[in-house]
Structures are given as C-alpha cells and as structure tokens.
Structure 1
Amino acid sequence: MKKRIKTPEQQFLAALQNEERKRYQVVKWLGVLIAFALVAQAVGLAKVFSDLVLEGRFPLTAALLSAAAFLTKSFAQYWREQLSAAASRAIRFSLRQRMINHLTQLGPRRLTIDEDGGLSTRVYEQVDALDDYFTRYVPQVFLVTFVPLTILVAVAPVSWVAFSIFMVTAPLVIFFMILVGHKAAQANRRQFNVLQMLSNQFLDLNQGMGELKRLGQTPKARERLAITAESYQKTTMGVLRLAFLSTGTLELFASVSIAMVALYLGLGLLEQLPWQVGVAPVSLFAAFFLLLMAPEFYLPLRQLGNDYHAKQKAEAAAVDIQELLMTADQDESTHKLNPQSYPSAIGAFIEFNKLAWCHNGRQRLHPMSAILQQGDRVWLRGESGAGKSSLMTILLGFEKHFDGGLYVEGDAFHSMNMANWRRRLAWLPQNPEWVQGTVRQNLELGIGRCTDQALLDSLKKAQCWEFVETLPYGWDTPISEAGTGLSGGQMQRLSIARALLSDADVWLLDEPCSGLDPDTAEQVLNTLDEVSFGKTLIIVSHDTHPVVWANQRWLMTQEGVHVEAQTPISYV
C-alpha cells in the first residue's frame, strides 16, 4: 500500500506537534482509558435497566460499575483537555518567538514578504489560528480511531446487524467531512489574505492620517477601508457558513444511523423483523447495550467533523507562516568571494575593502574602499541610489551576501556574532519606530529596565528633559506610534536619548534630519555633536544639512566612495 505523502504545511504542523510529543502521548493513553470506560459504563447501565424491567430489582454492582466508569471517563476527559491546551500554548509560544526572532534577523528584508500590518497578522492572528488544531483536532484524531474500533469489537459478538450498520455508515460520515472540509480550507485562505490586507491598510492609515487630512483624501481612504472590511466580512461569513454546513451534514448522517439501529432493535424486541418474525434477535440487556453504544460510536466522528475545519484553518495559516520562516532562512548566506583575497588593514576599527552588493540583478552598492578608526565621525552624502542606505543595511548585519571585504577590528564581518555586534550599535533611521506606550517604555524598548538616574542623564544630554518635564506625567506620559503631541525635532531628540541609553559605541544614522525644518535640523545636529563625541559614527545627510563637526567627509557616487576630507581625531 502506497504511503500518503504529506503536504509541506502538514509536515510543518507535524513537526510542531512533535515538540510536545510527551504531552500528546499521555493524551493518547487517556483516550484509551475513555474508550474502555465508555464500554464499561454501557454494560453497567444496560444491566441496571434490563434487571429493573425484567426482574424488578436494582443491581447495585452494575450501578457501581457504571458510576465508576462515568467518573473515570470524566476525569480522563478533563485532563485530556488540560494537557492538549497546555501543549497548544507551548507550541504557539515557541512558534511566535521563532517568528519574531526571524523577523528581527531579517530587518528591512521583512518587507519583501509583506508590510508590517500583514506580518503582525501572521505573528498573532495566524499563530492563534493553530490553537483549535492542537487543542481539539490532534487529540481527536486518535480518539476517532480508537473509540469506534473498541465499540466495534464490543458490538460484534452481540449483533452482526448493528455491527454492519456501524461499518457501512461510518465511512459516509468521514467522506462528507473531508468534502466539506476541503471547501473550508479554500475559504480560510481567502479570509487570511483579506485580513492581512485589512491590517496593512489600518497601519498605513494610522501612519499617514495627518498627511491624508492635509490633502483632503480622508473620504477616499475611508471608502477604501470600508470596501476591504466588507470583503473580510463576506469571507468570514463564508467560513462560518461552511462550518455550519459541515456540522449539519454530520449530525444528519449520525442521527439517521442511530435511528436505523434503534429501529432494528425496536422491531427485534417486538419480534417483527421481516426476516425473523416471531423471534427476538437480541435480549433486552443486549438491546440496551447497543442503543447506548450507538451515539458513542458516532460521537468522536461528529466531533472530528466539527474540528475538521480547524485542521483546514491551521493548514491555511501554516502556508503563510512557513513563507515567513523560509524567507528568514534565505538570509543565512555567505560571501561569494574568498575573504582571504581582501586582507584587513592593521589597526583599523572598520575597514571596507572593495565592498560591493548586488541584489536581484541590481547593483545596490558599488565597490568602495575606506577605513574608520575608533572615534571617527563620518559624514556620508551622495546622490539617491548611490548605495548609502544599502551600506547601512550591510553594517546592521541584515545582508551578508556581499562581495569584497568588510572587517571590524580585524575580524571578517561575515564570521562575527551578529547579536554581539548589534549590541554595540545605535541605529537612528529616517523615521524612528515607536510603539503605543509611555515615553519611558519607548526609550527602554530593546534595552531593558533602566534606572531613573540613567534615564534622566540621557534625556538631559539629548536636550529632551526640558519638554519631557512639561508633559502631563513626565516620562510616564503615553504617546502613540506617530508620537502624537510631540514635534519631529522632539521625536528625533528622544531617539538620540535612546541611543545614549543603549551605551553603544558605534552609531549609524540614516538622514536623522529628514523632514525637519533647517533650524530644527541644525539643533538636532548640534545635539548629536555634543553627545556622540568619542563614538564611531556614520551619519547620512544631504548638503542641505551639513555635518560640519565630522572629521571625515565621504561622497558616495556610482563609482564608489570618495574621501573628500579627513582630519585627525582630537580629544582635547
């Protein structure tokens, strides 16, 4: 018999399940206990009912057996659910941590997968979409196999007719479960795609609301959002419709099958079966036993049918989750060229030796050679497309697939521990990212809890304390992702304060004065001059915002980097 080949998403889910195999192994043994308890409970109740009807006595032993079986089943079911929920939480926590770590390693490359709104949907919504799969579906797969088999073994010696009814109707239930479930999988994929689009639109509108108001485009933005929201509503209702259809179909087949067993037993006890008139095929005890077993036989199948859409939903979510993780793995590339052919200069802190980067067939950074000593402050300028931001991307460790040599303190960059290197970096992009929270929480983001004195010192050095002190709650004042209530210059100064808190010795600044008026930009640059003294710094800035205090001035062109001016570092 040919083994069924699993799809990539099924293999992915199986690998996640394997992380909690010990818990699921206990869940399986509890399922075995539940199956035996069901049979024992039915035997005890059938004995009680038949003796009460035929002999008018109450069999205490049989009643105790059924009571003990019921308690055992309830106990096993409770712990089965608790262990399954614990396994699901552990799997989702570990997976979400992996995804966030991968996105951190990807850095700007994450935008090749999706926008930040869509990525947040994958990390939160789609990971949570796996909950029902690991909590309900995975444990039910074993139960739906073992419980019916146990009941079939118990029923076969009692009645071959009831056994045949069970055998014929069970595959029909499974067939319709798979048929409807396949449609549910397609609907879930459409729902996730629309949800990602809606998340991206919410994020875009939140970040650009001020600009939309100035341009008078808020009605169009509202209309666009309403269309996407309506689309999400329709896809969600489609998923729910299929879920109800699946449940209704399974309930119908299970009810008809149970009715067939009940009809057979009823006519048999009345001795009115067409092929066996005047003879009862089973005793009253056996009839009660079969009638109690019939609903229990179909219950796991019906429950699996209810949970089958959870499997399709999980597989739909797994496709997008795998795409994210596989894209992250592509970043683990190495040098094209042999780094030994580009020896490091003796005594240099950072050295670029014919460093170049070609991405997707496009030359993003032309070959450049330059040397930085510790404490050098470089003003990097150049035309758009020359590779300034690409150089920053490489130095941040988000792209290692470059040509030429890059060395830090004599060590090849591609062989360095990126976590240790990034701890030495302070990164100030054109638009620093903020989160919904207090000023303090944003300053400590990625750094950890800081003392009040350290926080105060950094704010004073960055010339932030004057306006932070006037806020309603000081540094405990909440701010939005867009820094509502603060000016662009104030937000940039807070970014400088965050860099000071990090205690980094290498600062990378990508046009920190972009979008600021000349006076504010000059104030920010003066602040940087004061606080970055002694740091190794590369600042990208256009001629409109000259960095006069830099001791090195680089001009980046399509031919590479030209060192326009270089003066020794003076610590006097």
Structure 2
Amino acid sequence: MDKSLENQLALWLRNQKGACGVYLKLSMMLGVLNGALLVVQAWLLATVLHGVIIEQQARAEFVPHIAAFALLIGLRALVAFSREKVSFEAGLRLRAHIREVVLSKLTRLGPAYINGKPAGAWASIVLEQIEDLQDFYARYLPQMSLAGFIPLIILCCAFPLNWAAGLILLITAPLIPLFMILVGMGAADANRRNFSALQQLSGHFMDRLKALSTLKLFNRAAAEERAIAKASEEFRERTMAVLRLAFLSSAVLEFFAAVSIAVLAVYFGFSYLGELNFGHYGAPISLFTGMFILIMAPEFYQPLRDLGSHYHAKAQAIGAAEALMELLNAPEPLAFGDTPVPQGELTIVAENFSVLSMDGVSLVGPLSFTIQPQQKLALVGPSGAGKTSLLNALLGFLPYEGSLRINGIELKQLDIASWRQRLGWLGQNPQLFHGSIADNLRLGQTDLTDDALWHWLKQARVDDFVHGQPNGLQHTIGEFGAGLSVGQAQRLSLARTLAKQAPLLLLDEPSASLDSQNEQWVLDALWQALTDKSCLMITHRLDQLDRVDEVWVMQQGAIVQQGTLAALSAQPGVFQQMLAELPLQVSLDQVDTLAQDLDESTKTDIEEELNTIETGVNAGGAA
C-alpha cells in the first residue's frame, strides 16, 4: 500500500475516535492506574525480601506489607477487568456510530450507486469490515498511550536508584517498536488484500446463491462450485499470510524483550559479584534496588509487547478503512435543500434536463418535458435508452444538470425526504423484509390501521392470500420474500405502494416477472388506483399502452418520439420498429386491437412483417 494512503487511512481512523465518548480516555486512565499499582506492588515485594534476607528483620514486621500486597492483587484484577469492559464499550460505540454513518450514506447514495456492487460486497463492508475496527479502538489506541506512560513511570522510579539500569531500559526500549514497525510494514497491505478477497468472495457467493435455481437449470452448478472453491482457496492463502505476519511480529517482540531483560539481569548479577562497579550513586547496589528494578523490568516492556501484539489490529483496521473511507467520501447525487414539498397535486417541468452518472458522465438528456397532475405517461424504448436513469433522477438518486421544477420549486431546493414521501415507487423486483405482512405494508406508516391495510390488499387483489394464512396480517414473510410466489410478492408490494397514497407513481416494469394472470391482476389494480393520480411507467408491454394519455419513446438518452399510441403507431420511427419486433405470441387479433385506429396500409405492413417472421421461424423448425 502506498505510504501516503496508509497515513491518510490512519488519520481517518483517529478522527473517528470521538464516537467512543469518554470510554476511550477512561480505558487509558485505568491502564495507567494499573501500571502505578504495579510499581507499588514491586516496591512492597522488594522491601519485604530486602528486610527478611539482608537485614534479618522479623517476618511479623512485614504483615502490613504482605496484606497490602494481597489487596493490590485483587485491586489490579478489578482494574484490569474494568478496563476490558470500558475498552469493549468504546469499540462498541464506535462500531454502532460507523455502521449508522455507513447506512445513512448508502441511503443518500441510493440504489443507482448500490447496484454497482453485488449484495455480498455491501454485506462485507457493513458487517465484517466494521467489526474489524473493534480491536483498533478497544485495544490498540489505549495501548498506544500506555506504551508511553507506563515505561515513563518505571524509568522515573529506576533512574533515582540506579542510572545504569535506567539507561539499559531506555536504550533497549526503542528496539521493540522499531522491529514492530519493520515487521508490520507489510501487514496493512496484506490485510487490505485479504479484505478485497473477502469482499469478492462474499459478493460471488451471495450472487450465486440467489441464482442457484438458474444455475441448476442451465447445468452450471458444478462449474460455479469449482469457481467458489478456487476463490475460497485464494482467500485461505491470504488469511494465512496475515496470520503468519501476526505470529512473526509476536515472536520478534518476545525475543527482544527477553534479551533486554537478560541484559539487565546480567548487569545486576555481575554487580553483586563485584565485577561491575558503576551505575549507583556512591552506595553499593542493595538487594532492594536489584529486586525492585528486575520485578518492574518485564512490566516495563509489557506495554510495548502488548502494543506489538495489537499492531495487527491497526493493520486490520487500515485494511478495512480503505473501503469505508472510499464509500463515505463518495460524492452524493445532490445537495438538497430544506424547502417542504407543496401539498396537493404535482406539476413537474423539466428544461434542458440532463441526468448524470456518479462520475459526471451524461446518461440522459438534455430533455424538456412536463408532467401534469393526473397525467398517465408510459416510457418505452430499447434497453440502455436511459429510462431507469430518468426515474432515478426524479427520485433524487442521480445528479442532474439543467432545471427540474416541482410546482415551480427546483428539486435541489426541496427537502428530499418530504419529496420522496410524495412519490410511490414500484419496480419489477420488489423488496420484502423479514417480518409480518402488516409490518411490510406499513413500512414506517404507523398510523395505518388494519382496516386500511385490508382495503389496500383488496385493491391489489391479494387479500384472499392473506385471509388464507392462519395469522392473517401477522403472517411472517421470510428474508427476500421467502415463502411467497413472485406474483404474491409483487401484489403485496403493490398494496404497500397504494397505501402510501402518493400523488405521483413511478413504475419500473411492475409486471415484467409475472405470469399472464398475475400480470393482469397487477395492471388492473394499478389502473384502478391511478384514477386521480399521475403516473410515469416504464413498460415493455406495448399492448397496454392504450390506457395511458401519452407515450414517450426513448433512445440513446433522448425522447425521440412522444404522443398517443395511435399517433406513434402511424409514424415511422423507433416505436413502429418496436411494434414490428413484438414476440410471436402477440396474435394478429392483438395487432388489430392495438392498431384499430390506424389506416389500412399501416396495419397491413405490420401484419405482413409478423407473417414473414412467423414463416421464417416455421421453416427453420421444419428444417
């Protein structure tokens, strides 16, 4: 990883620590208190040993010292336990804050951005990567402070007793963080690659799991199983590389800590033998001095060793922070204002209106159009023409240039939440959540009564299904609509959309995935509900266009034709080509219905085109 990028990520991580509240500082204070109690323990133990062994004092004289020592053991255990609890709470609060920020950001970015990655990749970011920030805030950051405070406290106690021992501690202390940095230089990069592999594996696995029936249908299950096995093996290798670095860093730190303590022990050993005569301040080195410093020596290096063992938490957090910072810094579609949306009917006027991608590339436009109150519009055109992008821009999920005014107020000036409250949206792949039918229908509209829910269920022609369930409205729906057919899920989503009673409905091929019976039910319910509402519907069903007031034909991001069904069918252009390319199951009777207002020459041309296609297919089948 580039060093400047690593520094940016580390700075971003530190800037988030405010979410930990007072718990992070409290964890540091408890750690310092534990270190200070350790110094007192070492002093008590060295005093008892020196008095009993060297000065031959009676053991009874040291009962208070021994009692205090035992009390300090319990007190240190309580402090350590409290520190663990406080540290965990700091990490918990941080994770909750980051998860809330990430989910709020995804809400603002909208589906146009979210659909750019598979669902498993987002699950990896929201779950695994945020979870991997825990140890950085619960352990690494508090340990950074303790690695400075506790050695400083011990040095302040050691130098007044023996300057040589203090000098040994001072010289050898930097070796541990130095080698910790050298060993850990590749750890962040390894963790970043590991997170990238996990994100890809999660997305790959979840997408294949959702498409399992399709894979089996086309006999691709075995091939995808081998692909998942290969991706899993790559992830295993990357994980083992990260663990190898973690164990290597721990071994290196233990080695240098042991060597440093050994040097200190050799110094005192040779001093007691009379071979070394320096370091003291005139008086000979006493047993108290040697014992006191040697007891504290392991604790002098312990914070540094703990920092080293937690260093992988920093590398892990930096690896996770890259995707999080990229997401949180992603440009949002629009900077909305706080003007409330006017109540009543809606009039939408667009002038030189261009829809842009998140990267600023023009997707649609420039367009100029007007949507009047209670007007029913159909949006048709080939795939990639920009129909869904136009709907996403109206929903506020894509940026735009030009003017888009709602009742005379520019969309960018409106409060986006109140604007979306005035819109009803229904797509071809509705999202139902794990919970009761009532919860899915209300979805935030807590004022809807059960009677109102039954009314909208009847409107969507799905009330018979709900009545047939033992728990009725409290019947539990599984995740992703498990336990429901496609038609039932779509009609429940339609009931939810109708219950919102929005003055403008945006529909993205709401009947695309349905059989003929369910499609007819959904469309009939929609047209009945649209009596006093505006509607902009993307559709591929050209045989349903006689119900709309106007048809807009899009091609390559522009509205190339607009008018009634009869008028467009009589005009040479994209729409007439689409009529000619209708599936063969559209019978000549349906063509008669669609073209009842056309002149005879146009109708004859369409019929001859369909007959030619049908003859060619039959000839190919006979061959």
Conserved in 2, the CA contact under 8 Å of 1:366 and 1:386?
no
Aligned partners of 1:291 and 1:451: how far apart in 2?
A: 75
| 1:514 is the counterpart of 2:512 | yes
Q: Residues 315-354 of structure 1: matches in 2 within 5 Å?
A: 315-327=318-330, 329-332=331-334, 349-354=347-352
**Map 1:35-50 → 2, pairs under 5 A:** 35-50=35-50
Q: Which residue of 2 aligns with 1:118?
A: 121
Q: Is the 8 A contact 2:505 2:536 kept in 1?
A: yes
The one-letter code of the counterpart of 2:316 is K
Q: Give the corresponding residue for 1:527.
A: 525
What is aligned with 1:549?
547
Moved more, 503-512 or 109-118: 109-118
> Contact 1:44 / 1:62 at 8 angstroms: preserved in 2?
yes
**Which residue of the partner structure matches residue 385 of structure 1?**
384
Output the CA distance in 1 between the equivalents of 2:128 and 2:447. 29
- Deviation by residue 1:329-365 (Cα, 9 ceiling, x = unmatched): 3434699xxxxxxxxxxx9622222322344675422
* 1:466-515 CA-partner distances (Å, limit 9, x unpaired): 12333465454444455344332222111101213334332111111113
CA pair 332-63 structure 1, distance change in 2 beyond 3 A: farther
Deviation readout 1:301-333 (Å, 9 max, x if unpaired): 111111011011111111110000111x34346
Listed as ranges, the matches of 1:95-174 within 5 Å are 95-111=98-114, 114-174=117-177
Counterparts of 1:472 and 1:238, CA distance in 2:
54
Alignment equivalent of 1:495, drawn from 493, 496, 499: 493
Counterpart selection for 1:93 from 92, 96, 118: 96
On the 8 A contact 1:122/1:321 being kept in 2, the answer is: yes
Q: CA distance change for structure 1 residues 199 and 447 in 2, over 3 Å: closer, same or farther?
A: farther
- Paired residue for 2:26? 26
- Cα RMSD, aligned residues only: 3.0
Change (3 A) 1:381 1:448: same
Q: How far apart in 2 are the matches of 1:230 and 1:438? A: 40
CA distance in 2, matches of 1:79, 1:234: 38
For residues 273-303 of structure 1, give each alpha carbon's deviation from its aligned partner in whole angstroms, at most 9, with x where no partner exists: 3668xx9952111222112101110110111
Q: Is the 8 A contact 2:336 2:415 kept in 1?
A: no
One-letter code aligned to 2:398: E
Match of residue 290 from structure 2: 287
Corresponding residue number in structure 2 for 1:341: none
> How many angstroms does 1:71 deviate by?
4.7
Q: Tell me which amino acid in the other structure corresponds to 1:251.
A: E
Give the direction of change, closer, same or farther, for the CA distance of 1:193–1:6 in structure 2 (3 Å limit): closer
* CA distance, structure 1, for counterparts of residue 307 and residue 235 of structure 2: 27
1:182 to 185, 192, 195: 185
2:57 matches 1:55: yes
1:224 aligns with one of 223, 227, 251: 227
Alpha-carbon spacing, 1:155–1:423, altered in 2? closer, same or farther (3 Å): same
CA displacement at 1:555 relative to structure 2 = 3.0
For the residue of structure 2 that corresponds to 1:546, the secondary structure is helix
Tell me how far 1:55 sits from its aligned partner. 2.1
Identity of aligned residues (%): 36
Q: Distance in 1 between matches of 2:268 and 2:215?
A: 73
Relative distance call for 1:358 and 1:304 in structure 2 (3 A) is closer
Partner residue, 1:570: none
TM-score normalized by the length of structure 1: 0.88
Residue 556 of structure 1 aligns to a residue in which SS?
strand
d(CA) in 2 for partners of 1:222, 1:366: 43
- How far apart are the structure 2 equivalents of 1:104 and 1:254? 50
User: Which consecutive residues of structure 2, in runs of 5 or more, have no partner in the other structure?
Assistant: 338-344, 567-623
Compute the displacement of 1:409 (Å).
1.6
Unaligned runs of 5+ in 1: 336-346, 568-572
Alignment match, 1:454:
452
Q: How many residues align?
A: 550
Deviations 1:188-240 (A, max 9, x none): 11110111011111221122112111111111111111111122222222222
Structure 2: distance between partners of 1:189 and 1:381 = 44
Q: What's 2:251 paired with?
A: 248
Q: Which deviations, in whole Å up to 9, do the C-alpha atoms of 1:20-50 show, x marking residues without a partner?
A: 4543333333343233222112111211222
